[in-house]
Homo-oligomer: A and B are copies of this chain.
């Protein structure tokens, strides 16, 4: 039986933060932001909700170089990210060609259940004086 998630204050608070954020943020950053808003939520709960949202594909997750998982609310549908190293500003990009290329390569080598990760990092105009 499928369990329906409950509409708790904490879940709403986490969702609200994600609405307002522009770029990617770590669970801990989100936890701090909530605290500053006075909408304090337990760290475990922040992690749980972010993971749940990520699992249900409502938000995107990626790992940065430091091994932290970053979250962001994105448009639906498959896409990739162009992320500014300095300020975290993110541009969503679609790359139909890349998707097809990746799948073709994998099939060619007899791989199934194929997924891929693709992120582009750079320094955005605002951060390059």
Residues of A within 8 A of B (CB): 63, 67, 82, 84-85, 91, 93, 95, 97-98, 101-102, 105-106, 109-125, 128
Complex CA gap A121/B118 in Å reads: 11
Complex CA gap A124/B110 in Å reads: 6
Complex CA gap A98/B125 in Å reads: 23
Q: Which chain B residues border A117 with CB–CB below 8 Å?
A: 117-119, 121
CB distance from A113 to the nearest CB of B (A): 5
- Which of B109, B116, B120 is A114 in contact with, Cβ under 8 Å? B120
Complex CA gap A85/B116 in Å reads: 12
Q: Are A111 and B116 in contact (CB under 8 A)?
A: no
Query: Can you show 26 pairs from A to B with CB atoms below 8 A apart?
Result: A82-B109, A82-B111, A91-B109, A93-B105, A95-B101, A97-B97, A97-B101, A98-B98, A102-B120, A105-B120, A106-B120, A109-B125, A110-B124, A111-B123, A111-B124, A111-B125, A112-B123, A112-B128, A113-B123, A114-B120, A115-B120, A115-B121, A116-B118, A116-B120, A116-B121, A117-B118
CB distance from A79 to the nearest CB of B (A): 12
